[in-house]
Structure formats: C-alpha cells, structure tokens
Amino acid sequence: MTGDLYGEASDILLELVTDEPNNVAAWTALAKAYDRVGNISGSSDAYRKSLALDPDRIDTWISFGNFYFRGKSYSQATKAYRSALKVDPDNSKATNNLGSALKETGNLKEAVAHFVRATELDAGYALAYRNAGDAYIMLGQYETAIDWLGKATQVDPQNLFGWYWLGRAYVRAGEPKTAVQHFLRVIARRPDLPQVHHDLGEAYYLLREYGKAIDYVKNGMRLSPAAAKSYVTLSWIYIRLGRQKDALAILEEGIEQNPSAPAIHIQMGDIHKSASRHNDALKAYTKTVAVDPDFWTGHYKRGVALYYLSQLDASEVALNEADKLNPSSPSVKHFKGLVALAKNQTDQALSFLTEASEMDRENADILFHLGQAYQRKSHWTEAQTQFEAAFRLNPRKSEVLYGLSQVSGKLDQRAEAREYSRRFKAVSQFEQERDVLMKKLWGKPNSIELRKDLAALLEVNGALSEAMEQLRQAAYLGDESAVEELERLDKLMFREK
C-alpha cells in the first residue's frame, strides 16, 4: 500500500471508529494506518484506545511495542512488550522483541536471556538465534556468538542474513578466513548488497590481502556511493599501505558523495593528526562539528587538535562542549586536565584527571598525567603512587619511567631513581629511533629498506607483532626476503607463546 492509500485507509477507519467507538479491531487498524503515514500522536492515541477497550489483545501490545521501537523509544517499547507478556508469558515474538528493546538500551545480559527464552519457546525462530548471537558479539563473547549464529543458519539455511551475521561474528572473533567464506556465500546469491562487499573487504584487509580488500570495499562503494563506512575503511587500508595521499583522496571523494557524514571528516582529521598536521586535523574536526553539532566526538577531537596547536582557550571551550554532550567520557576529562595543566591551573587539572582516572583505571596516560599534576604541586608521594599505577599498566611507557626516576630522586630514593633513569633511557632511545624511521617512512612509504630497518629495530626491542606488520608491508611491496623473515618471526612468536 502506498502512502496515499494508507491516508485513504486512515480516513475510512476514522469514520468507522467514529461510528463504532468500541470497535477494537478498527482502532488497532487506525493506529497502524496513522503510523504508516507518520501521524505519530494519532497512532499512539489509537493504540491506547484499542488497548483500553481490550487490554488482553497480545498482537496489539506487540504492535504498540514495535511502534515505539521504530521511533527509538526503547523504554516505552519495553513496557509494551512486557504488557504483552503479561497477557501470554509464552509468546515467543513478544519475548524476542523485548530482548531487542533491552539490547538497544544496553541491557545486554537481560536481552540475551529473552532471546534464548524465545528460541526455547519456538525452536525454529531464526531471528531470535541471530539476535542472541548479535548480543553475544556486543558482549565480546565471540565464540558463543558464533554458536548462536550458526544455529540460526541451521534453522533457516536459506536466510542470507544468518550467514552474513555469522561472517561478521567470525571477523570479530579474529577468524577472518572463515568470515570470508560466509560473506562469499552471501554474495554469490545476492551480489547487490553493499554492506556485505564492504565487510568482505574488511575481512580481506584483516587477512592482509590488500588487493582483494580494496576491490571489495570499492564494490560496496559502487553499490552504495553515499555509505560513509566504505570510504573510511578504504582510507584505513591505504594508510596501512603507507598510501596517505590515496587515503586522503578517497575521503575527499566520500565527502563529495556524502558531505554530512561525520565519520569521514573524523577519519580525515585523524589521518592529519597522526602526521602531526594539527591545523588540517582541526579543519576536518571543525567540519564534523558543523555537520553534526550534537556529535560529542567531533567536539572532543576538535578540542584535542586545538590543544596540540597551543590554542588552549579554544580547546577548553570545545572540550567543555564535548563534556556537556557526553559527561561520562574519561578521554574528555583527561584532555580538560591537560589543558588545565598547560594553563598552570594545577588544582583544576587534579580534579579533572582524578575524575578521568576514576572513570578509566586502565589508562596509563591518564594516571601518568595525574601523577604529573601531583608533581607540579610537589606532592611527591602521591605522584609516585600514580606513576607506579601507570607503570603496572605499561612498564615500557617512557614518560612514566621518567616520572618515576624524577620523583624517586625527590624522595631521596637514589638507587630507584638511577634504575628508572636507566630503563627510561633504553626505552626513550628506542622510541626516538623508531620515530625517526617512521618519519622517514612518511616521506618514502614504498621504501622496502626503511620498512626492514624499522622491522629489525622493533624486533630487537621485543615488539614482534609490529615488526611483522612492517615485514608484511615490505612483502606486499614485493620484497621476497621479507616473506622468509616473516616465517622466522612467526616461529619465534609461536615459541614465545
């Protein structure tokens, strides 16, 4: 039925309920018709009338819940589905839908329980299996997710969504090879689905089959030119290959296609930032904020870029805006603390950094800066405590080692100070050499020699997986000896494990 037809239907139904105000079916039909034509308040009122007349109609409760779900009013949807289950606690659809609403509100564990219950009530309910799998992905339990998504494909092998979701779960579980098989199965039957091409490209990227990765992401892009995700993913692949110019060019293309996609602007800013072009990064983040003023990440990243450009007052304003939009972000609090430190507002810095560290106890950077704030106040013991906490999280973080050497000296712990100084020197020298090589690589991304030098440096300093990454890229650039080196390192890593 087209919109006009729904319009006509709602007129007729309105006449009907005017003539027969106790016609429950007519009220429900009117609610659905209003929903279709976008008459939200009319639809809501009609559902309420219908349910007031007959509160035991489970289908109406489910439809009312779906109405709220589509409108992203998840707590209202939850209430409606719960009401449906009061009428019939064994209704699989209401159970599944309640799980979906709970999932959207972040209540993943309860959501999973409802999806599982829905499959118990209806063993052939493929969607409930898929939903359970998806919720397990969100919980980071990838193997369990794969089990549930596998069941979904067994229950309904013809449903391509099941295979696609299973592929996604394999990607998340770090098994891109299997994911590729599932995505290819879907594409063989439905070559027109852009998201599947994109995800297949992503899986090839993880397999470091960069040529195929680029091809499939580009397919996705061709099928859906406005989808921001493809441009962002392709730029990542180019960055990995050291093709920074191509990465920026593809993002420019993405902006032409979809100028209002914040993700593309953010990615562009991130690329500039990683190359220390903070001014260009700032421009990109400013565009992000312009296209989506309610996107806290845009304000946050803008504040960070301004901080690196030493524009502390402007940075403070941007970070305050981000904080307002997302008061639970430790990153925003962290940078507010850094701005306060730079402005010599040490008490304020202490307050922000303490807050950030309470939100995220696993962030060595935050703990280091908190230690630094205490250091500024000559509170050496407190500074040492924070540096030690940061050290426990990352014992190779040069600034933490330096901080520990300095406060140990202040606390007259000379032997400790010497030892931390020694460790700092070793790490700092490695970082410096690594940074110099990386800087050279920015200028010559196709230099096999530089990549191999960097790989050797990383290996000597125990960063085996980073070393392998450099060798993989050298191999991609055509260096055969890099392949042998990769095999050697692979064995070495295996032995270490």
Partner 1 sequence: MSQMFQHLTLRAILLFCILISNPTLSAQPLSFKDVAAERGLRFVHDNGGTDQKFYIETMGSGCCLLDFDNDNDLDVFFLQGTPLPGWKKELTLRNQLFRNDEGQFTDVTGESGLGATSYSVGCAAADYDNDGDTDLYVTNFGEDVLYRNEGDGTFADVTYVANLGNPMWGSSAAFLDADSDGWLDLYVSNYVEYSIDNNPWCGDQRSGQRAYCDPDLFTGVPDILFKNNKDGTFRDISEETNISNLSGKGLGVVPGDFDGDGDLDIYVANDKVMNHLFINDSAGVFREDALFTGVGFNESGQAEAGMGVDFGDYNRDGFPDLFVTNFSGESNTLYKNEGNGFLTDVTFAAGLGQPSLEVLGFGTKFVDLDLDGWLDIFVANGHVIDNIEIINPSYTYAQRKQVFLNNRQSGFSEQTEQIGGDLLIPSVARGVAFGDIDNDGDVDVVISNNGGPANLLLNDGPPRNNWIGLQLKGRLYNLDAIGAKVMVKSKGGTQWSWVNPAASYLASNDKRLQFGLGPDKRADEITIVWPGGGVDRIEKVEANRYYLIQPGGEISAIW
Residues that bind partner 1 in the complex, under the rule CB under 8 A: 245, 248, 277-279, 308-312, 341-344, 346, 372, 375-376, 398-399, 401-403, 405-406, 409-410, 417-418, 421, 424-425, 428, 432, 435-436, 439-440, 443
Q: Which residues of 102-138 are buried (b: 16+ CB within 10 A; e: fewer)?
A: bbeeebbeebbbbbbbbbebbeebbbbbbbbbbbbbe
CB of 139 to partner 1, least distance (A): 37
Among 208, 207, 257, 206, residue whose Cα is nearest residue 230: 257
CB of 203 to partner 1, least distance (A): 31
Distance, CA of 69 to CA of 253 (rounded, Å): 35
Q: Which is nearer to partner 1, 249 or 493 (CB)?
A: 249
Q: Which is nearer to partner 1, 151 or 369 (CB)?
A: 369
Q: Which is nearer to partner 1, 75 or 442 (CB)?
A: 442
Q: Which is nearer to partner 1, 39 or 375 (CB)?
A: 375
Q: Which is nearer to partner 1, 28 or 375 (CB)?
A: 375
CB of 406 to partner 1, least distance (A): 6
CB of 69 to partner 1, least distance (A): 46
The gap from C-alpha 279 to its chain's centroid, in whole angstroms, comes to 25
Q: Which is nearer to partner 1, 180 or 373 (CB)?
A: 373
Q: Which is nearer to partner 1, 132 or 404 (CB)?
A: 404
Residue partners of 156: CB distance under 8 A and separation at least 6 = 124, 126, 162
Q: Which is nearer to partner 1, 57 or 302 (CB)?
A: 302
CB of 316 to partner 1, least distance (A): 12
Residue partners of 189: CB distance under 8 A and separation at least 6 = 160
Q: Which is nearer to partner 1, 10 or 398 (CB)?
A: 398
Q: Which is nearer to partner 1, 188 or 415 (CB)?
A: 415
Residue partners of 422: CB distance under 8 A and separation at least 6 = none
Q: Which amino acid is it at 263?
A: A
Sequence-separated contacts (24+) of 20-28 with Cβ below 8 Å: 22/53, 24/50, 24/53, 24/54, 24/57, 24/60, 27/53, 28/57, 28/59, 28/60, 28/63
CB of 242 to partner 1, least distance (A): 12
CA dihedral 262, 265, 271, 275 (to 10 degrees): -130
**Percentage helix, strand, coil for the chain under 3-state DSSP, each rounded to 5:** 80, 0, 20
Would you call 192 helix, strand, or coil by DSSP?
coil
CB of 401 to partner 1, least distance (A): 7
Which tokens hold the place of 184?
A: 């290819």
Q: What is the largest CA-CA distance in the chain?
A: 93
CB of 74 to partner 1, least distance (A): 44
The sign of the dihedral angle between the CA atoms of 148, 150, 154, 160 is positive
Residue 169 Cα distances to 22, 109, 450, angstroms: 49, 18, 36
CB of 337 to partner 1, least distance (A): 13
Would you call 462 helix, strand, or coil by DSSP?
coil
CB of 263 to partner 1, least distance (A): 21
